[in-house]
Chains A and B, each alone.
Chain A
Amino acid sequence: MKRWSLILFTVITQISVGSFWTAQFFLPFEDYLLFNRSLYASFVLMLIGLSFSLSHLNSPIRAYFAVSNLRNSWLSREIIFALLYTTFLGITILNLWLNFIPRKIIFVLIWTCSLLGFLLLYSMIRVYMQRTINTWNTFYTPISFFSAALILGALLFNLIVQGAALPGWLIIILLILIILRSSLLPRSLAILAQSIPLKDILIHLQPQFILNLILSAISLVLVGFLALNPYPATIFRAIALCLLSLDAFVDRYMFYNLQKISQPYLV
């Protein structure tokens, strides 16, 4: 259960940030109504993600201690950036209702949210890229995390913003990310295979690996379809988001298992 809390926290947070980035770059800010939906979606996703993050702790009452080691700990920094990002999203939403921030500063507010979202993802990546965990300390980690944010964020934006179409160049980037992520995973497995017999790796990972490959292939088809049909039906957008989210969850589940089986001799 604790592991799933982290999987949900990381994926949901990434969707929130990716969706905000997509909205920021592809919508004129004057288009309040449409931008509202993206803001609300990002904010609600962060609240849900933070709830899952709290549930992973064994002493959630003392969670406030978790920002005590900003000097050294990327986990402390991740939490601070998550809180700041959520807070700034909340301020932006409040401003939409109360209009208390001058128009010229709203631009700064939006960019601050974007920057905090990036710092949140970067901190999240650094939490896992530690020198003692060789299977996480590879390019696969940032590719997996950023691709989840961009792919799922773009699809969520595509779903909730009616009439929006993802530009062709973005579709190409998403396709490249899916291919890159799928091809980097075997490299992590190869690192494992240097110290653990391949049959032991396959016993642990084979079902998830096959499922991940199938879902990645489906992801390629769905995203490729968006390139040919920029305005698909809402049901298609919803199904695409669900399937690719499932792909992201399976990918993240395998990611956590990479650490678990990288130390079979140290249980």
Chain B
Amino acid sequence: MSQANRYAFYFDSSFCSGCKACQVACKDKNNLEVGRLWRKVYEVTGGEWHQHGQIWIPDIFSYNVSLACNHCERPICLEVCPTGAIHKREDGIVLIKDTRCIGCGYCKWVCPYNAPQFDPGTGKMTKCNSCYDYIDIGKLPVCVAACPMRALEFGEYDKLAEKHTYIQGVYPLPENSLTNPSVLIKPHQDAGRACKQPARITNIEEL
């Protein structure tokens, strides 16, 4: 399976309004209960206010990052799963076979993107599956279709890479060399400031 042929998500952070339509569409399609999110929208805020005499001037920034499972080129969840429940399709989509999963949660520990989510109803781990049932009949994942800003795209990695300028990591994501995620991100114009000024995720309670 070459990098060029695998499926990937493209996310344009400069377009994302943080509406979470992608998150809601995913929850709706997959019947996810409260507390389980396969796609999460992180609201990142940073910067500070500066006082000039009697006046306070804002120097703040804010952007959103919509993130699901990145169906990594080197998925560490697949490496560590003791039952072999996690497998990777030819097209790069990483899936969990629920007939083999024992709910040990090891994949959740090691995933740097916290993609695997525990389903208390079945006692097994679940995660974004790129709506492979839709992909197999030529449709798009629901998160991509639902995005009103068209900030999300889905397709073959090399075609997305040709079409867009991108990077593979932005705060708060970890280093992409850990697992080579199949995600291309166009960073928000202020994303670089998150590395230089204090930044934090302001909606952590929602996640």
Q: Assess the A267–B82 pair: CB atoms within 8 A.
A: no
B134 within 8 A of A: no
Q: Assess the B102–A263 pair: CB atoms within 8 A.
A: no
Q: Taking CB as reference atom, which chain B residue is nearest A126?
A: B80
**B contact residues around A265 at 8 Å (CB):** 42, 172, 200-201, 204
Total residue contacts A-B, CB cutoff 8 A: 88
A73 to B83, CA, bound (A): 9
Q: Taking A130-B76, A266-B113 as contacts, is the C-beta distance between A57 and B83 under 8 angstroms?
A: no
Q: Assess the B102–A67 pair: CB atoms within 8 A.
A: no
**A contact residues around B102 at 8 Å (CB):** 57-60, 62-63, 65-66
Q: Assess the A267–B104 pair: CB atoms within 8 A.
A: no
A131 to B177, CA, bound (A): 10
From A28-36, A74-82, A237-245, the one touching the partner chain is: A74-82
Q: For B103, give its contact among A57, A72, A259 (CB under 8 Å).
A: A57
**B contact residues around A59 at 8 Å (CB):** 101-103, 123-124
- Which of A66, A79, A133, A265 counts the most B-chain CB atoms under 10 A from its CB? A265
Interface residues on A, range: 20 to 34
**B contact residues around A130 at 8 Å (CB):** 76, 80, 109-110
A51 to B147, CA, bound (A): 47
B114 within 8 A of A: yes
**A contact residues around B169 at 8 Å (CB):** none
A132 to B173, CA, bound (A): 12
Q: Taking CB as reference atom, which chain A residue is nearest B171?
A: A265
A2 within 8 A of B: yes
A63 to B85, CA, bound (A): 12
Q: Assess the A132–B179 pair: CB atoms within 8 A.
A: yes
Main secondary structure of the interface of B (DSSP, over half): loop
A68 within 8 A of B: yes
Q: Taking A72-B80, A267-B204, A267-B207 as contacts, is the C-beta distance between A57 and B104 under 8 angstroms?
A: yes
Q: For B82, give its contact among A58, A67, A131, A132 (CB under 8 Å).
A: A67
Interface size on B, residues (CB 8 A): 34
Q: Assess the B204–A68 pair: CB atoms within 8 A.
A: no
B148 within 8 A of A: no
A259 to B106, CA, bound (A): 12
Q: Taking CB as reference atom, which chain A residue is nearest B100?
A: A65
Q: For A133, give its contact among B78, B100, B110, B172 (CB under 8 Å).
A: B110
Contact with B along A118-129 (1 / 0, CB 8 A): 000000000100
Q: Taking CB as reference atom, which chain B residue is nearest A2?
A: B105
Q: Taking CB as reference atom, which chain A residue is nearest B177?
A: A131
Q: Taking CB as reference atom, which chain B residue is nearest A263?
A: B114
In the complex, what's the smallest C-beta–C-beta distance from A195 to chain B, in angstroms?
Answer: 9
Q: Assess the A267–B83 pair: CB atoms within 8 A.
A: no
Give chain A's interface residues, CB within 8 Å of chain B: 2, 56-60, 62-63, 65-69, 72-76, 79, 127, 130-133, 259, 263-267
Given contacts A132-B110, A265-B200, 7 further A-B contacts (CB under 8 A): A57-B104, A58-B118, A62-B83, A62-B102, A65-B82, A65-B100, A133-B109
- Kindly list the 5 A-B residue pairs having the minimum CB-CB distance in the complex, ordered from nearest: A58-B103, A58-B123, A65-B83, A265-B172, A266-B114
Give chain B's interface residues, CB within 8 Å of chain A: 42, 76, 78-85, 100-106, 109-114, 118, 123-124, 172, 174, 178-179, 200-201, 204, 207
* Sample (15) of A-B pairs whose CB atoms are under 8 Å apart: A58-B104, A59-B124, A68-B84, A69-B81, A69-B83, A72-B79, A75-B104, A127-B80, A131-B178, A132-B174, A132-B178, A133-B110, A259-B109, A265-B200, A265-B204
